[in-house]
Structure 1
Amino acid sequence: MTTIEPGDFGVANIPFTNGADSKKPPILLVWLDGEDVVAAVVTSVKPRSQTDVFLNDWSVSGLRVASTVRLSRLDCLDKSLLLGKKIWQISQADAAAVKQVWELYVKPQF
């Protein structure tokens, strides 16, 4: 990826926890901290929980299919795991929806 910012969509090489393999899903960059990024997985599966946000503007954002941001599936990744260039940036309307769900439901449960 070249210059990246929170709100950009991209693709990352996310290792499985067993270290044996990885997957390369689209992601939404949520937070940047030095060489680390916090990313939410983007999926073509329809929302299935209160922390899933359907993207109304998915095609404008450069995604190939109708997509959902899964805020329950966050990954902290080294920037080196980001592949290629950013796809595009989240629309203002979809960003507002993601932020609203984040404020309501993404919190420590202790």
Structure 2
Amino acid sequence: MTKHIIPRYKLILYYDLAMGDTETYYQFVMSEMVPALQEMGLYLFRAFHNIPGQVGDDIRVRQVEYVSEDLETIQDILNSDKWQELENQLMEHVTHYSRKVVRFRSGFQF
């Protein structure tokens, strides 16, 4: 069942995929990370794959956006043990990882 929300905040993850680890990365994200975050109230909004060298050296190849109706939900998730576990697992598959929380805007946000 699809839940409809009014997104007000985004958690944006930026990273590069580790070389040679694409398949296990996708398996982890799609079967573990996305369902766990959705269960906690954070919903996958969209993901971008940027072309290396086309947008600048400071732009990561992957940008993944999750949305929530309120900031408190994101803060609670980021402070949870489950998030720490998921983030640590993600970092086994990626490099140059960073994240930030921003107010929701429908257009592309850095």
TM-score in terms of structure 1 length: 0.30
Q: Which has the higher contact order (CA 8 A, sep 6+)?
A: 2
TM-score in terms of structure 2 length: 0.30
Q: Which has the higher strand share?
A: 1
Q: Which has the higher helix share?
A: 2
